[in-house]
Amino acid sequence: MAVVYEKSRGLTDNPLTYCPGCSHGIVHKLVAETLVELDILEKTIAVAPVGCSVLAYEFFNCDGIQAAHGRAPAVAAGIKRTNTDKIVFTYQGDGDLASIGTAEIIHSAHRGDNITVIFINNAIYGMTGGQMAPTTLIGQKTSTSPYGRKEEQAGRPLLVSEMMAPIPNAVYIERTSVHDVANINKTKKAIKKAFENQINNKGFSMVEILASCPIGWNVSPVDGNKFIKEGLMPYYPLGVYKDEGGEN
Amino acid sequence: MAKVLMKGNDAISEAAIQAGCKGFFGYPITPQNEIPEYFSRRMEEAGGVFIQAESEVAAINMVYGAAAAGVRTMTTSSSPGIALKQEGISFIAGADLPCVIVNVSRCGPGLGGILPAQSDYFQATRGGGHGDYYTPVFAPSNVQECWDMVFHAFDVAEKYRTPTMILIEGMLGQMMEPCEMTKRPTYQMDKSWCVDGNADKRPRNTITSLSLYAEVLEQMNIDRFKKYEEIAKNETMVDNQVKDGDEVAIVAYGTPSRIVLNAIEELKADGIKAGLIRPITLWPFPSGEFQNLPSSVKHVLAAELSMGQMVEDVRLAVNGKLPVHFYGRTGGSIFEPVEIANKVREILGKGAK
Amino acid sequence: MANLVTITESMCKGCALCADACPKNILEMAKDRVNNKGYHPATCINMAACTACAICAKMCPDSAIRVERDA
């Protein structure tokens, strides 16, 4: 028998703390597989955020550190700038990166930190119980937008990739999704490129990944993936928003 | 070694480089700007990294990252900027990481002003951020001591794996004095715990201040306080000049302690004997000194550039045995020797001059 | 010999993304039992029909599925 697919050794044996059907587990696998395939696992430092993935350092089978809410890119800069031969990535949700950490993510790209950013956009604060995020859709009901998000009160959702791409030293910005296998495969390619860019000293790379939060959205896991496609993707178009790194 | 005339801020910068600081992360704020400026000039040739961060918040988190990777690292700021760093300092303390934070303090609250003050004493000595923790705080009173204290602050930070703070007033940062730039050997820290991407040579490492289990987090806090006990036992520093026959012990730290020395000289001419107790570490506070004062001492006076902060530690240390008085100026005003001398005369029931 | 889908039931959270994604519709949540986490674990009901495409395993957020191809 030939193994076609098995759990990556880039993941530890710690049981994932995510809810059933949550996309974090899928993205964790893709990152872990990439670190193994690029043979960089042992020299990688993962920077975990505050949010559902606060314990990500328990799951990636490499060195890991937990950062204050939104500050992961600054922590990553501190590590990477003083250890340029190592691989550093942040793993951040939309509350962490797109709300409290906007200054840190923008200036990390602005400085051109040679790091990889994995950005999970599920349009909600999951960990704290499903509150409105900057990425929550107009009309979307959350625990702090119980009547649906209203533009006049909260504005329209923040388009992070579109916002990051024009930053001069952002090298690679792509938005992908993990709602089906074809898109999971594309996401893996994007993650791989974001790490290859770092290996080749090309600079700041970020992959925004549309993700499901079935519990926060109050839908089944299967319907959660449908909502990525039918709810999120029309507002958050997938695609490469910037690629100045070229081939690796 | 020949002495060089230099500013306190420059002495701190060069001393940090000589002490092996390889990561400096800062943000402009008066009156500490000479420090990031110095690092921006020198760090590259010294083989280190200088980054002007987008905020004090980012700077302290860069320190958190570099410290976690086992790099000697430092950030500097001034009062409102140090307030912004408190979240990060709490994380650094909670993750048991070594670094040095320098506060070239100014007056507050709010934007306050850019003139010197000592009104960050509470912020510095009570942890400053959320949670149960302390940072050892060193308060040099001249440029030479600034130089020496940087080496010491790094050593204490790494020996105990804790953030340490150097607290000076803006005037010491700006003041030029002769300084002997002696490089001294530094503590060599074991780095097997660091997240430096060497998991091919050891099991993977993780660094966090998080625990969701009460009994685990409680034990982490208890263990950290055992460390603080060790620090209090081994690292408390004080310059106690009180002699038998002195009637008043005047407590002052930093540059104002030098003004107090002039007041003591002035009082001597009147036949009034007073002596200085200068805490060099503000945390741990040298409380023991107040238990063994000569029996001639009848009064204790705390003199600070604040509305009265250190005086609380003095009262706790004296523990009701003697009356504790306070004299302070604030808002950037600095007391003159005669003000302190007159306060002593008032305490002793003698007329002011 | 058929291809082999091995589901580590203790890791499964019963989200059913695997079953939804399986092109052969041979995975379902075992309603007759719960695992140590309290979920009905995924199970393969017709191993002979498995093409070892591994779509189920790629969809699984909990890395609970291993797929082997009959060589």
For chain A, the residues whose C-beta falls within 8 A of a C-beta of chain B are: 41-45, 47-48, 54-55, 57-58, 61-68, 71, 74-83, 86-88, 103-104, 106-107, 110-111
Residue A86: the pLDDT is: 98
- How far apart are the CA of C3 and the nearest CA of chain A, in angstroms? 8
Residue A231: the pLDDT is: 98
Residue A1: the pLDDT is: 87
Summarize the confidence of residues B231-257 as an average pLDDT: 98
Domains of chain C, start order: 4-68 (3.30.70.20)
For chain C, the farthest-separated pair of C-alpha atoms sits apart, in whole angstroms, at 36
Residue C1: the pLDDT is: 63
- How far apart are the CA of C23 and the nearest CA of chain A, in angstroms? 11
Residue C66: the pLDDT is: 98
- Residue A15 has its nearest CB partner, among C11, C60, C68, at C11
> Is the pLDDT confidence value at B70 over 80?
yes
Say if the Cβ atoms of B206 and A58 lie within 8 Å: yes
Sign of CA dihedral B133, B136, B141, B142: negative
Q: Does A5 map to a domain?
A: no
Given a contact as 3+ CB pairs under 8 Å, which chains touch A?
Answer: B, C
Q: What residues make up the domain containing A176? A: 24-242
Residue C2: the pLDDT is: 87
Q: Does A231 map to a domain?
A: yes
Helix/strand/coil (H/E/C) assignment for every residue in chain A: CEEEECCCCCECCCCCCCCCCCCHHHHHHHHHHHHHHCCCHHHEEEEECCCHHHHHHHCECCEEEECCCCCHHHHHHHHHHHCCCCEEEEEEEHHHHHHHCHHHHHHHHHHCCCCEEEEEECCCECCCCCECCCCCCECCCECCECCCECHHHHCCCCCHHHHHCCCCCEEEEEEEECCCHHHHHHHHHHHHHHHHHHHCCCCEEEEEEECCCHHHHCCCHHHHHHHHHHHHHHHCCCEEEEECCCCC
C2 touches chain A (CB under 8 A): no
CATH, residue A181: 3.40.50.970
Residue B351: the pLDDT is: 81
Summarize the confidence of residues B209-224 as an average pLDDT: 97
What ipTM was reported for this prediction? 0.97
Closest CA to B79 of B56, B105, B97: B105
Residue B352: the pLDDT is: 77
Say if the Cβ atoms of A68 and B61 lie within 8 Å: yes
Closest CA to A75 of B202, B187, B201, B97: B97
- Residue B69 has its nearest CB partner, among A57, A62, A82, at A82
Q: Does A247 map to a domain?
A: no
C54 touches chain A (CB under 8 A): yes
Q: Which tens digit of pLDDT belongs to each residue from B261-280? A: 999 999 999 999 999 999 99
- What whole-number distance in Å separates Cα of residue A56 and Cα of residue A60? 6
Which class for A112: exposed (0-12), middle (13-18), buried (19 or more C-beta within 10 A)? middle
Closest CA to B286 of B320, B318, B247: B318
Say if the Cβ atoms of B68 and A75 lie within 8 Å: yes
Extract the residue ranges of chain A whose pLDDT is less than 70.
Answer: none
Contact yes or no for B324/B314 (Cβ under 8 A): yes
DSSP strand E in B203-286: where?
A: 206-207, 238-240, 248-251, 274-279, 281-283
C5 touches chain A (CB under 8 A): no
Say if the Cβ atoms of C68 and A25 lie within 8 Å: no
Q: Which of A44, A54, A71 to mutate to test the interface with B (most CBs of B within 10 A)?
A: A71
Contact yes or no for A179/A221 (Cβ under 8 A): no
Q: Does A188 map to a domain?
A: yes
Say if the Cβ atoms of B196 and A76 lie within 8 Å: no
For A26, name the nearest residue in chain C, comparing CA atoms only: C61
| B2: confidence class by pLDDT, cuts 50, 70, 90 | confident
- Chain A partners within 8 Å of C59 (Cβ): 26, 180-181, 184
Domains of chain B, start order: 3-235 (3.40.50.970), 239-347 (3.40.50.920)
A46 phi and psi angles, rounded to 5 deg = -90, 135
The per-residue pLDDT string of chain C (71 residues; one tens digit each, 9 = 90 and over) reads 689 999 999 999 999 999 999 999 999 999 999 999 999 999 999 999 999 999 999 999 999 999 999 97
Residue A142: the pLDDT is: 97
Query: Token pair for residue B113?
Result: 């002003």
- Residue B64 has its nearest CB partner, among A43, A78, A106, at A78
- What whole-number distance in Å separates Cα of residue B61 and Cα of residue A240? 30
Q: Does A17 map to a domain?
A: no
Q: Does A3 map to a domain?
A: no
Contact yes or no for B28/B36 (Cβ under 8 A): yes
| B166: confidence class by pLDDT, cuts 50, 70, 90 | very high
Residue B165 parent element (H or E):
strand B163-169
Q: Does A67 map to a domain?
A: yes
Q: Does A7 map to a domain?
A: no
**Cβ atoms within 10 Å, residue B295:** 6
Number of domains in chain A: 1
- How far apart are the CA of C57 and the nearest CA of chain A, in angstroms? 7
Say if the Cβ atoms of C11 and A181 lie within 8 Å: no
Query: Token pair for residue C66?
Result: 């291993």
Query: Chain-wide mean pLDDT for chain B?
Result: 97
> Is the pair A, C in contact (3+ CB pairs within 8 Å)?
yes
Summarize the confidence of residues B107-123 as an average pLDDT: 96
> Is the pLDDT confidence value at B36 over 70?
yes
For chain B, the residues whose C-beta falls within 8 A of a C-beta of chain A are: 22-23, 25, 48-49, 51, 53-55, 57-59, 61-69, 71, 73, 87-88, 91, 95, 195-200, 204-210
